């Protein structure tokens, strides 16, 4: 087989983002392609599979006749030759080769992928050439909230791994807010604010996403140190530069009018609209975009941003997000002014906006050039076909959009997504004449969980329309997923993933897009039906039908037990089976209490607490489920920047418990970001349930009402107590998973 031509389209980041509603690359780019260096892609291969790097040749190729990106995998003598028409296409080809030919799945969520993949022998050669063409040019990753819920304090090494994994799965646009606080701080110096005043206004890193969304400013006594602000700016630049190298456009926060308090007093001619409160916390003011002062602030913001983070052609802005108040400002004129300021600073740039709740409204879209926008839609899979909200083309008035999904909120560890409807809806929307569908968008509120959902959604961008997008094709994909994930076709592993596919990943579009969270993480109550205040209050799939996946995975243990991804999945599935059981057990405890059967109540409540201890021990066997590992990134960041580690730890701990260190906010958002992690389950959640059951037992013994418990005071104490948590796993998952199977089968 002769290698493909090595002349090719350039990296094409801007072309991919600005391709217009048809998704085609402009004609002038097709007629004058430019070569690109494969050096950055070589670096990814060397980091991920160094043992095979010398046997994998990388090249460039021409785009498809339509101008769309493509990749090809073929033999080149005794080597594998992978070619691509852009840096992103090339690395997508590498990822596809590793997964489907070499059966080496580079996992998104598992620490098994944090180190080079252990491979043996030579890389297998493809039996026949494989060529794939992108059906959409935009492949976007990351919700605004992910920087708080996932990676607020990550270091460069962890970010480098995330970029590599994203690139191997075809991502070519990535929302990047790291360093935004430095941009705001330096910008506002020219408008009357000191560095200290800005530090007092900007929340700590884990809470910054909601500040960038204009939902909140800092309400705590803790402030981010100047050293940490400067370090995050330097890290943001390093991340952005690497993204550009590997074919990923960094989507940076744009400026739409957020200002600190007292802005009008310091800037004559300014007009601001108070934004009220969001979930109990005051929102920052909004500067009227129609004013000359706004134009000056926006120009300074974009100039400073370019200096700190480098160039971009895509900027994320959610004007009037989640109840923002326009006051007397006409929204179309405001939106037009926001877009004009962006165009002045970055001619030809794309305004990226989240499709969420009522945004972007028809009123907002009426004031802008919609061809210069991209809606990353988080509701595409949420509503039934008959619901108007399920049709993005209608909702967004023909604005280019990316087909997306939000399968967790707050970073819940629950397995599940509405994935069974993705293929049929995506290709049906893509097939419409002049379809405005131009991309896919991976939008969980926290990244790095539900690998199957991540891979299924990203692969849609490179698939031809299926002859039958129904259950058979869906099942076949999950069978291949199991084979690639564990490196071998194992019937029991395949059966487990078939079970998971037809239950947790086949949830219907019934107004929700997420799986329900477990009740171990709920604020204790005998009537609890959810942990997060906004999670589904009922199971959205047949949990009894899901449970056999654990037995099926356990049967594969003699053959797959040494595989790190198998062990990760075994822990995750066992955790989910036990978590699901909490919904069956709590009503029994309630019934015993209501019947005033104290011995039975004591027996059942003790079993509940023992199950929580078992879950914590199970989770402790894998690094991905350790609270201490997540907190350690904060400690490292604080030490490197000379920052206050106590403030950093409170920032992280409050986010996953009371959400913020304020009783009013906690009343609305407590446990919103709950996770079944070792450390949280075994201390915070276990302590709450132990205290609660004890209060009920005392009430039964004394025939009195249970004593009230100040839950916020408990969370405040937990978040402010400098407790250390293990950062390395211990124990083995197999016996614990087997015990959970017995426990939940009784």
What's the pLDDT at 386? 85
What's the pLDDT at 212? 98
Q: Token digits for 626?
A: 């350790």
Q: What is the DSSP letter of 535?
A: S
Measuring CA to CA, how many Å separate 589 from each of 303, 419, 568, 608, 612?
61, 34, 31, 9, 15
Tell me what the mean pLDDT of segment 595-613 comes to.
98
Tell me the percentage of the chain whose pLDDT exceeds 70. 95
Interatomic CA distance for residues 25 and 12, integer angstroms: 9
Tell me the percentage of the chain whose pLDDT exceeds 90. 92
pLDDT, tens digit, 9 for 90 and up, residues 695-709: 999 999 999 999 999
- Token pair 């959400």 in the structure block, residue: 659
Tell me what the mean pLDDT of segment 297-323 comes to.
97
Pairing mode, if any, of strands 314-316 and 249-253? parallel
Which CATH number does 13-133 carry? 3.30.379.10
pLDDT reading at 22 higher than 70: no
What's the pLDDT at 390? 86
What's the pLDDT at 23? 36
What's the pLDDT at 389? 85
Interatomic CA distance for residues 127 and 191, integer angstroms: 64
What's the pLDDT at 335? 98
What's the pLDDT at 7? 26
Q: For the residues of 22-64, what is the DSSP string, one character each?
A: T-PPPHHHHHS------HHHHHHHHHH-GGGGGGEEEEE-PPP
What's the pLDDT at 467? 83
Interatomic CA distance for residues 18 and 349, integer angstroms: 8
What's the pLDDT at 26? 33
What's the pLDDT at 294? 98
> pTM of the entire structure?
0.95
What's the pLDDT at 35? 80
Q: What is the distance, to the nearest Å, from the Cα of residue 506 to the centroid of all Cα atoms in its chain? A: 20
pLDDT reading at 140 higher than 50: yes
pLDDT reading at 29 higher than 90: no
What's the pLDDT at 9? 27
pLDDT, tens digit, 9 for 90 and up, residues 426-455: 999 999 999 999 999 999 999 999 999 999
Asked if omega into 345 is within 30° of 0 (cis), the reply is no
Name the band, by pLDDT with cuts 50, 70 and 90, for residue 223. Answer: very high
Measuring CA to CA, how many Å separate 96 from each of 113, 130, 141, 165, 480?
16, 10, 18, 12, 12
pLDDT reading at 338 higher than 80: yes
Instruction: Judge: domain 138-473, CATH 3.20.20.80.
Output: yes
Same fold, 13-133 and 562-745: no
Residue 97 or 33, more confident: 97
Tell me what the mean pLDDT of segment 278-294 comes to.
97
pLDDT reading at 475 higher than 70: yes
What's the pLDDT at 647? 98
Tell me what the mean pLDDT of segment 26-43 comes to.
66
Residue 276's φ and ψ, nearest 5 degrees, are: 70, -140
Tell me what the pLDDT averaged over the chain comes to: 94
Enumerate the domain spans of the chain. Answer: 13-133, 138-473, 562-745
pLDDT reading at 4 higher than 60: no
Topology classification of domain 562-745: 1.20.120
Q: What is the distance, to the nearest Å, from the Cα of residue 310 to the centroid of all Cα atoms in its chain? A: 24
CA-wise closest residue to 580 among 634, 510, 520: 520
pLDDT, tens digit, 9 for 90 and up, residues 530-565: 999 999 999 999 999 999 999 999 999 999 999 999
């Amino acid at each position: 087989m002769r290698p493909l031509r090595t002349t090719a389209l350039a990296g094409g980041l801007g072309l991919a983002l600005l391709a217009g509603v048809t998704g085609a690359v402009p004609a002038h780019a097709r007629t004058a392609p430019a070569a690109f260096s494969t050096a950055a892609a070589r670096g990814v291969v060397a980091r991920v599979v160094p043992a095979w790097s010398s046997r994998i040749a990388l090249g460039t190729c021409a785009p498809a006749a339509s101008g769309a990106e493509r990749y090809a995998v073929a033999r080149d003598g005794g080597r594998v030759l992978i070619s691509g028409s852009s840096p992103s296409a090339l690395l997508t080809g590498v990822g596809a080769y590793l997964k489907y030919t070499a059966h080496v799945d580079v996992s998104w969520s598992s620490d098994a992928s944090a180190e080079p993949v252990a491979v043996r022998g030579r890389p297998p050669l493809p039996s026949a050439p494989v060529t794939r063409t992108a059906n959409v040019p935009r492949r976007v990753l990351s919700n605004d909230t992910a920087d708080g819920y996932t990676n607020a304090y990550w270091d460069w090494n962890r970010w480098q791994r995330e970029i590599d994994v994203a690139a191997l799965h075809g991502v070519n646009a990535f929302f990047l807010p790291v360093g935004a606080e430095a941009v705001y701080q330096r910008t506002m110096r020219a408008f009357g604010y000191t560095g200290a005043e800005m530090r007092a206004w900007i929340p700590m890193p884990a809470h910054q996403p909601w500040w960038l969304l204009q939902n909140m400013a800092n309400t705590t006594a803790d402030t981010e140190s100047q050293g940490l602000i400067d370090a995050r700016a330097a890290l943001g630049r390093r991340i952005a530069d690497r993204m550009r190298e590997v074919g990923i456009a960094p989507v940076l926060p744009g400026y739409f009018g957020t200002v600190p308090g007292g802005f009008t007093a310091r800037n004559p001619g300014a007009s601001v609209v108070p934004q009220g409160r969001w979930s109990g916390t005051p929102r920052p003011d909004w500067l009227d975009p129609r004013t000359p002062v706004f134009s000056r602030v926006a120009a300074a913001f974009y100039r400073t941003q370019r200096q700190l983070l480098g160039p971009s052609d895509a900027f994320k802005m959610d004007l009037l997000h989640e109840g923002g108040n326009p006051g007397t400002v006409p929204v179309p004129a405001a939106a037009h002014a926001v877009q004009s300021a962006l165009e002045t600073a970055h001619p030809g740039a794309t305004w990226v906006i989240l499709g969420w709740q009522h945004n972007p409204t028809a009123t907002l879209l009426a004031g802008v050039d919609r061809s210069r926008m991209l809606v990353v839609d988080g509701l595409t899979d949420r509503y039934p076909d008959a619901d108007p909200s399920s049709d993005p083309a209608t909702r967004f008035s023909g604005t280019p959009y990316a087909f997306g999904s939000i399968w967790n909120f707050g970073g819940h560890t629950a397995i599940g997504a509405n994935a069974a409807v993705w293929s049929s809806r995506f290709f049906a929307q893509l097939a419409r004449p002049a379809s405005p569908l131009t991309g896919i968008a991976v939008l969980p509120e926290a990244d790095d969980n539900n690998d199957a959902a991540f891979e299924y959604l990203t692969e849609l961008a490179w698939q031809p329309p299926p002859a039958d997008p129904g259950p058979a094709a869906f099942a076949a994909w999950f069978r291949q997923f199991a084979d690639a994930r564990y490196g071998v076709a194992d019937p029991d592993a395949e059966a487990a993933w078939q079970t998971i596919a037809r239950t947790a990943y086949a949830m219907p579009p019934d107004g929700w897009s997420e799986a329900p969270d477990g009740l171990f993480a709920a604020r204790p109550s005998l009537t609890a039906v959810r942990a997060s205040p906004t999670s589904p209050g009922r199971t959205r799939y047949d949990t009894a039908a899901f449970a056999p996946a654990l037995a099926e995975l356990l049967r594969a243990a003699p053959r797959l037990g040494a595989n790190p991804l198998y062990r990760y999945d075994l822990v995750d599935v066992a955790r989910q089976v036990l978590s699901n059981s909490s919904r069956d057990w709590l009503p029994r405890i309630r019934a015993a209490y209501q019947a005033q059967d104290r011995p039975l109540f004591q027996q059942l409540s003790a079993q509940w607490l023992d199950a929580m201890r078992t879950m914590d021990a199970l989770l402790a066997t894998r690094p991905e489920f350790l609270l201490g590992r997540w907190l350690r990134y904060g400690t490292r960041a604080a030490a490197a920047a000379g920052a206050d580690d106590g403030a950093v730890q409170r920032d992280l701990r409050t986010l996953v418990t009371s959400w913020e260190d304020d009783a009013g906010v906690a009343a609305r958002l407590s446990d919103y970001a709950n996770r079944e992690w070792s450390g949280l389950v075994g201390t915070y959640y276990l302590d709450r349930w132990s205290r609660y059951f004890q209060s009920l037992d005392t009430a039964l013994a004394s025939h009195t009402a249970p004593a009230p418990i100040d839950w916020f005071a408990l969370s405040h104490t937990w978040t402010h107590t400098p407790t250390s948590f293990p950062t390395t796993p211990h124990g083995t998952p197999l016996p614990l998973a087997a015990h959970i199977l017995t426990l939940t089968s009784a």
